Amino acid sequence: MPQRLNFRIDAREVFMYAAGLAFLTLAKTKNVLRGYSTPKPFPIADIERCIAYDLKVVDEWLVHLAAYSGNTLTVRGKNVLELGPGSDLGVGLYLLAKGAAAYHACDVHDLTQSAPASFYSALFERILKIHTECDEKFLRSQLDGARPSAASKLRVVVRADFDLLAAFGKESIDLVFSQAAFEHFDDIERTVEQLSAVCKPGATIVAEIDLKTHSRWINAKDPNNIYRYADWIYRTFYFRGIPNRVRPYQYKQAFERHGWTRVSITPIEQTSPSRRGAVYVADRFRAAENEMNSLSIILCAQKVQA
């Protein structure tokens, strides 16, 4: 019996290894042919689902912010930066409705242009049900000025070099939020260094980081699939935005190196106990410090006070 069990496990691992290579090939091919176009797991045409997603993301950020700060921090009156706004500006408009002084966003892909007017009409209706005192005219005016005016309180900057300092200037940001963006950054050190430059002393970041493989079928079957491969194999499938395979301890170290303190890493999704230790990973991910049971995390940190 034990031998048969081991055979079944090994056969599954071989299958998942091969299946992962197929999905990596598919992902790279798709990127070459179509570029990066779907930041959400569903299209912008699914308006109600997109709106629900945006509102949920903001509400969850604020729960984590309150827990991290001991209920001493809110978005009211703050200059907020989001890294990677995705397919629409629902998050920014919702943050303005909640009292943010300004919302800034930076991305390398110009994706927010794809959101139709019907999306925003439905979004405003939802926001006004939640915040009845909100000024819809104000929100619409900020949406209209999001691109042409640097003075807009809803400002989106698209830069291929993702240069945050050039986009927003030194020490201009109070709060940073990010939803499943950090895992797509090629150079974590540079990104954190730039955040340190644009954030004011005492600024806070709340970032959800998805550590899993992103291809949808294999994501559910084998969430740590991307960690099976040696670096030289994984580099073969490189395209800009491929998951970077940076682990929680590496994010923590990067923030601490660049002047952030009270760095908190909280797992929000983990592998089931029955699957722990059952997946083969490349040598460099086998040490306990990699916390391979963590599938997604919330990172919170505060920039050191001057």
pLDDT in tens, 139-161: 999 988 776 456 689 999 989 89
Are 147 and 207 contacting, i.e. CB atoms less than 8 angstroms apart? no
Nearest CA to 90 among 103, 108, 78?
Answer: 103
CA distance 151 to 290: 43
CA distance 289 to 51: 37
Q: Is the pLDDT of residue 104 over 70?
A: yes
pLDDT in tens, 267-288: 999 987 655 545 789 999 999 9
Mean of the pLDDT values across residues 63-78? 96
Nearest CA to 55 among 125, 4, 106?
Answer: 125
CA distance 119 to 268: 29
Are 196 and 170 contacting, i.e. CB atoms less than 8 angstroms apart? no
CA end-to-end span of the chain: 64
Range of weakest confidence among 5-9, 40-44, 103-107, 149-153: 5-9
Mean pLDDT over all residues of the chain? 90
For the chain, list the domains and their CATH numbers.
36-211+247-303 (3.40.50.150)
* 3-class secondary-structure state, position 295: strand
Q: Is the pLDDT of residue 8 over 60?
A: no
Q: Is the pLDDT of residue 59 over 80?
A: yes
Q: Is the pLDDT of residue 70 over 70?
A: yes
